[in-house]
Amino acid sequence: MDWLDWLLLAARVVVVFFVLLLSVILLVWVERKVVADMQTRKGPMRAGPRGVLVSLADGIKLFFKEGITPALADRPVYLIAPIVSMLPAFLAFAVIPFGTGVTLFGRRVPFQIADLNVGILWVLAMSSMMVYGIVLAGWSSGSNYPLLGSIRSSAQMISYEVGMALALVSVLMYSGHLRMTQIVAAQDRVWNVVPQLPAFVIYLIAGLAETNRPPFDLPEAETELVAGYHTEYSGIKFAMFYLAEYLNTVTVAAIATTLFLGGWRGPHPEHLAWLWPILWFVVKVLAIIYAYIWIRATLPRFRYDRLMAFGWKVLIPFGLVWVLATGAVIVLPDVYGRRPVVIGAAAVLAVVLLLSLLWSALARRRETVEAPS
């Protein structure tokens, strides 16, 4: 590696970093606007044209606000908790290919920060790290509401992590590789969302829960927990939690795009061949984010026990059965030929659907039976 390589690497990382920051600033505005639109309001209008600078203004305000460290807080942990919650959000994005790449000064610059050979596992590892920011924030604040919120939300996150991992596994069975670029490459004919629609749905739901977004924003349920784990945070530290949360949303949407929607793939003209994939990628990510915002505007918050029941009693068994069904559909044709297997697969699918229906029915009935007690 010579100095040019280093320079290109640094430039790549810096550009991605600031684009991510910028995207968060935009995303906050987009979310407020879209939700306002869905509720026939106007939303933020003052800062900048159509209020586009509103989140920047928020950020600047938070930056200059007095930072309060509660008297009973555990100071070192209280200080590192926001950083810990922000880091994995950035790092998870590192393995996502957001374009094909470009040749600059005779060197190939991939549009991806790092193409790890354990790509998907890296994503999973980072998402399991996200729990820490929340747990530590809640514990170190030395106050009851944050503690309750953090315990709750970490329980929620680990519950949905299993479901998320199962969705990832079924994608892997199609691509046969953990590397993100190869997962995108494997989708050259059909996007994974077609054969793996259930896994896609599982992933989206688990992603909502992992990022603590509505309707799974229990950790911040303001009616019962004030503001959840970051109740005692203020100023720039609070801004970091906010940033981490929206970064996570972007990352989850980007991962869903890469794994299920063909990543940067899309029809495009030969002209400016490096630009179009990026545009496609952005469009797909925006579509998923729009869906998330839509869900937020539509669904009320889950009750906590239902949230946990949904994760454990529906998502996990369904994911497990789906993984096995995917395996059967891919492996069995190699052994027995296609036709009987297609019929068998249809049967399996029917059984799976039936089972999943039964499951949710079962869960619901048990709940209604036990609720009065």
Rg (CA), the chain: 22
* Contact flag: residue 143 with another protein (CB under 8 A): yes
Residue of 23, 100, 153, 154 that binds another protein (CB under 8 A):
154
Residue of 37, 42, 104, 144 that binds another protein (CB under 8 A):
144
Task: Tell which positions 52-111 bind another protein, by CB under 8 A.
Answer: 63-72, 74, 76-77, 79, 82-83, 86-87, 90-91, 94
* Contact flag: residue 361 with another protein (CB under 8 A): no
Picking from 183, 224, 174, 170, the residue whose alpha carbon sits closest to that of residue 352 is 170
Q: Using CA atoms, how far apart are residues 246 and 234, in angstroms rounded to an integer? A: 17
Give the side-chain half-sphere CA count within 13 A for 279.
Answer: 9
Picking from 230, 66, 79, 61, the residue whose alpha carbon sits closest to that of residue 148 is 230
Q: Are 43 and 36 in contact (CB under 8 A)?
A: yes
User: Phi and psi at residue 18, in whole multiples of 5°?
Assistant: -75, -30
Q: Which is it for the CA torsion 20, 122, 211, 276, positive or negative?
A: positive
Which is closer to another protein, CB of 35 or CB of 330? 330
Residue of 139, 280, 281, 302 that binds another protein (CB under 8 A):
139
Q: Using CA atoms, how far apart are residues 125 and 133, in angstroms rounded to an integer? A: 14
* Contact flag: residue 116 with another protein (CB under 8 A): yes
Residue reference for tokens 């820490």? 132
Secondary structure letter of residue 50 according to DSSP = G
CB of 118 to another protein, least distance (A): 5
Task: Tell which positions 163-182 bind another protein, by CB under 8 A.
Answer: 165-166, 169-170, 172-173, 176-178
* Contact flag: residue 323 with another protein (CB under 8 A): yes
* Contact flag: residue 347 with another protein (CB under 8 A): no
CB of 106 to another protein, least distance (A): 20
CB of 37 to another protein, least distance (A): 32
* Contact flag: residue 121 with another protein (CB under 8 A): yes
Task: Tell which positions 324-343 bind another protein, by CB under 8 A.
Answer: 324, 327-328, 330-332, 334-335
Residue of 48, 195, 215, 235 that binds another protein (CB under 8 A):
235
Which is closer to another protein, CB of 34 or CB of 244? 244
How far is CA 340 from each of CA 174, 329, 335, rounded to the nearest angstrom?
A: 21, 11, 11
Q: At how many degrees (to 10) do helices 275-298 and 197-210 cross?
A: 70
Indicate the SS3 state at residue 104.
Answer: strand
DSSP 51-87: GTTHHHHHHHHHHTSPP---TTS-HHHHHHHHHHHHH
Which is closer to another protein, CB of 41 or CB of 366? 366
CB of 367 to another protein, least distance (A): 7
Number of residues forming the site for another protein (CB under 8 A):
100
Residue of 78, 98, 111, 145 that binds another protein (CB under 8 A):
145
Which is closer to another protein, CB of 232 or CB of 292? 232
* Contact flag: residue 51 with another protein (CB under 8 A): no
Q: Which stretch, 31-39, 184-192, 255-263, 306-314, contacts another protein (CB under 8 A)? A: 306-314
